[in-house]
Amino acid sequence: MKLTQKQAPHGCTSADRHKLSRRSFLKGGALMLGASTLTIGAPQLIGCSTEPNENGPAPLNEVGASAVEATATESALPDGYQVVNADVLIIGGGNLGVNIALSALSEGREVTMLDKGVWRHSGVSGMSWDYFAGRYFTPAISYLGIENGKALTNALSFTKERDRYVYQVNHGQTLPDRDEKGQYLPFINENRTQGQFCRRHMDNLRTANGFGVDEQFMVTSLLIQDGKCLGAMGIHLPTGAFRVYRANATAIATGGCCWFYGWMTVGSYSINNPDNTADAEMAAFRQGLAIANSEFACYDLMSINPPGLACAFGGGIGADAQEYQFVFDNAGERLFSDDDENVSDRNYFNQFLAKAIAIDGRGTESNGVFLNVGDHGLRYGNARNVDLLERFGVGVRTDQIQIAPEMFEHGGSPIVDENMMTEVEGLFCGRNFPGGADVAGNYYYGLYTGHKIAEYAASQESKADGPSVNWEDVNVERARLEAIRTHRADDGVRPLQVRQMIQEAGFTGMGVYRTTELMEKSLAELRRIREDELPRMTVADSSLVFNTEWKHAIENYNLLDLAEMSVQASLNREETRGSYMRAEFPEKDNVNWNCVQVCRLQDDQMVFEKVSFEPLDASVLEQ
């Protein structure tokens, strides 16, 4: 591991960007299975239906992408691929991706979206989050003052409708609660509102001209040639078909990956979506792009019993800084005081919580605390689960409920310039969050990213058959995926077993209270898993159709890379900042660490750098 310091470029052009060539996965740190010796057969092509589906997305050949082409019709293409030509390609079908799509469509671009989950039921929107993070921009959990301030300034300046309620309601993106007079029902204060996501914004997109979505599609690699992104490729999960998307411009809009953090009977210590496994981010990392802010995450408190509903936003009950008055310690005393003016700040809340549990001994044996709501009202996301929990014998209104920190958001995305473009020309990323995304950020970053990607796509020369792709690189990625599916070991270990090892190690090193000892222990275990367990990982099912073990095995490489990167970055950052406490360095250090830390892959090693950005132009908040 090497750590260096550099200043971020500002206003860089495509000529200034890193000229990143396609990295051979079979030689790199991502896979060591000797796959170069395999002979890969071509799977049967699966065509796309041309019949409309009243309950699902419009078929690909009716939208802003050409129909999936049978490769036999184009001699330049190798056998066994489905190829789609797109104008603007968006990876991720949640709240951020939707805002990018709406913005790009409004500027006349055609948009193709790749959704790893089932359309309308994936991402934060599919989870039916229960309230807005805030009405107007304020320095909040997603803002630590070290991110690309110029990108944030540009995004806020571009947002024409500063009242997010008006914008999001007009686009059908939420269903806010109202009182008997029809006014928004505040949550905690007038800058927040109760309510819930609904899926009308996805319905609006589905009927928009120039929009199409490929659901249950897992991106495994980005098509990068001579420092320029030409699209992405991956697997259609229901059929196992390999698809290549050639695009004029591509955006990463996936959610933060938290699924490497712990395991409790049926899921991770996270309310985040299990499909968020950093697929696109780690694909970028394997090709040399810098990944920023992997040490930062966001936490709140969720119930840990009964285990089958633990840490689940759709089945649990919990609290964060907005419900501090309901949080009690192991002696039955309130953990937070009403006189503490900082308590509603989530970063402060989590740092205080870490100290109370780990140092002051006020936590439970499970390193949690208690929730005691009594007869007080509950926010929608918790209130809807009361009946469910009571069926399992949990007396939400009569008992103290044990709750523990869970990770609901995470950093770890490609670094961007002031135009939301990554180091590779034509590849954008809608995330500029040290602590992880929030609804507000998805709004203004999404709209601005959509504007910049539309602007870039308009500058590109469109070709009827799409950008010219190096099919040798595509074949290398396909060989990697086939090797994962077909590899067998005499003492094989199943993908789920490997995943739980990664999650246990990640849980050790990435909690709200981080010590050097715990992080070094976590790193040692993650590196042991890479050395000893990945070569033995065996997918029992060799089929292509709905092969969930194959999917999990591919994801494990991403989870392992991100977990190791995150723990090492945390170990490097010798200060306390954001939502966790560093035991040996309990104070913020703006002299040495008022910067973003990035990680890139060089010679199969993780190399870390410090990057400093211009700060936010505060005058934009007064507009």
The DSSP annotation for 430-463 comes to ----SS---HHHHHHHHHHHHHHHHHHHHTS---
pLDDT at 365 exceeding the cut of 60: yes
pLDDT at 75 exceeding the cut of 70: no
Beta strand spans in 356-453 (E): 369-371, 401-410, 413-414, 427-429
Q: In terms of pLDDT, which residue wins out, 136 or 603?
A: 603
Give yes or no for a contact between 192 and 133, defined as CB atoms under 8 angstroms apart. Answer: yes
Q: Per-residue pLDDT averaged across 306-321, rounded?
A: 81
Question: Please, which residues bridge with residue 369 across strands?
Answer: 403
pLDDT of residue 345: 85
Spell out the residues 6+ positions from residue 304 whose beta carbon is closer than 8 angstroms to its own. 264, 310, 311, 366, 368, 402, 403, 404
pLDDT at 5 exceeding the cut of 80: no
CA distance 492 to 490: 6
CA distance 231 to 155: 24
pTM score of the predicted model: 0.86
For the chain, give the percent of residues with pLDDT over 70: 76
- Per-residue confidence band for 79, with pLDDT thresholds at 50, 70 and 90: low
Give yes or no for a contact between 14 and 425, defined as CB atoms under 8 angstroms apart. Answer: yes
Amino acid at 127: M
Integer CA distances (angstroms), 225 to 106, 265, 470, 603, in order: 29, 43, 8, 19
pLDDT at 6 exceeding the cut of 60: no
pLDDT at 160 exceeding the cut of 80: no
For the chain, give the percent of residues with pLDDT over 90: 54
pLDDT at 165 exceeding the cut of 70: no
Amino acid at 490: D
Q: What is the pLDDT of residues 458-490, one digit of tens each?
A: 999 776 667 788 899 999 999 999 999 999 999
346 classed as catalytic: yes
Give me the residue label for tokens 């991706």: 97
- Per-residue confidence band for 168, with pLDDT thresholds at 50, 70 and 90: low
Tokens of 544: 């292509």
pLDDT of residue 442: 83
Q: What is the pLDDT of residues 62-71, one digit of tens each?
A: 222 333 333 3
pLDDT of residue 344: 82
Which of 313-322, 351-360, 409-418, 568-577 shows the lowest per-residue confidence on average (mean pLDDT)?
313-322
- Per-residue confidence band for 109, with pLDDT thresholds at 50, 70 and 90: very high
Q: In terms of pLDDT, which residue wins out, 559 or 181?
A: 559
CA distance 278 to 411: 10
522: phi then psi, degrees, rounded to nearest 5: -60, -45
pLDDT at 538 exceeding the cut of 70: yes
pLDDT at 503 exceeding the cut of 50: yes
Q: In terms of pLDDT, which residue wins out, 162 or 594?
A: 594
pLDDT at 232 exceeding the cut of 90: yes
pLDDT at 386 exceeding the cut of 70: yes
Classified as helix, coil or strand, 534 is helix
Tokens of 549: 């073990």
Query: Mean pLDDT across the chain, nearest whole number?
Result: 81
Q: In terms of pLDDT, which residue wins out, 187 or 424?
A: 424
Q: HSE on the CB side for 440, CA within 13 Å?
A: 20
CB neighbour class for 256 (10 Å; exposed up to 12, middle 13-18, buried from 19): buried
- Per-residue confidence band for 35, with pLDDT thresholds at 50, 70 and 90: very low
Q: Per-residue pLDDT averaged across 509-537, rounded?
A: 97
CB neighbour class for 575 (10 Å; exposed up to 12, middle 13-18, buried from 19): middle
Give yes or no for a contact between 503 and 261, defined as CB atoms under 8 angstroms apart. Answer: yes
- Per-residue confidence band for 78, with pLDDT thresholds at 50, 70 and 90: low
pLDDT at 328 exceeding the cut of 70: yes
pLDDT of residue 204: 75
User: Of 346, 514, 573, 582, which residue is the catalytic one?
Assistant: 346
Give yes or no for a contact between 214 and 141, defined as CB atoms under 8 angstroms apart. Answer: no
pLDDT of residue 445: 92
Which of 63-72, 226-235, 610-619 shows the lowest per-residue confidence on average (mean pLDDT)?
63-72
Which of 10-14, 227-231, 551-555, 611-615 shows the lowest per-residue confidence on average (mean pLDDT)?
10-14
- Closest residue by Cα to residue 528 from 551, 505, 558: 505
CA distance 340 to 409: 25
69: phi then psi, degrees, rounded to nearest 5: -95, 135
pLDDT at 605 exceeding the cut of 70: yes
Q: Per-residue pLDDT averaged across 195-199, rounded?
A: 57
Count of beta carbons in the 10 Å neighbourhood of residue 262: 25
CA distance 493 to 489: 8
- Closest residue by Cα to residue 88 from 194, 232, 258: 232
- Per-residue confidence band for 412, with pLDDT thresholds at 50, 70 and 90: very high
Q: Per-residue pLDDT averaged across 92-109, rounded?
A: 92
Q: Per-residue pLDDT averaged across 125-130, rounded?
A: 62
Question: Please, which residues bridge with residue 601 across strands?
Answer: 606
Which of 382-391, 392-401, 596-605 shows the lowest per-residue confidence on average (mean pLDDT)?
382-391
Count of beta carbons in the 10 Å neighbourhood of residue 578: 26
pLDDT of residue 553: 98
Q: In terms of pLDDT, which residue wins out, 579 or 18?
A: 579
- Per-residue confidence band for 207, with pLDDT thresholds at 50, 70 and 90: confident
pLDDT of residue 552: 97
Q: Per-residue pLDDT averaged across 167-178, rounded?
A: 57
Which of 140-144, 182-186, 392-396 shows the lowest per-residue confidence on average (mean pLDDT)?
140-144
Q: Per-residue pLDDT averaged across 315-335, rounded?
A: 90
Classified as helix, coil or strand, 571 is helix
Tokens of 164: 């997010």
pLDDT at 227 exceeding the cut of 90: yes
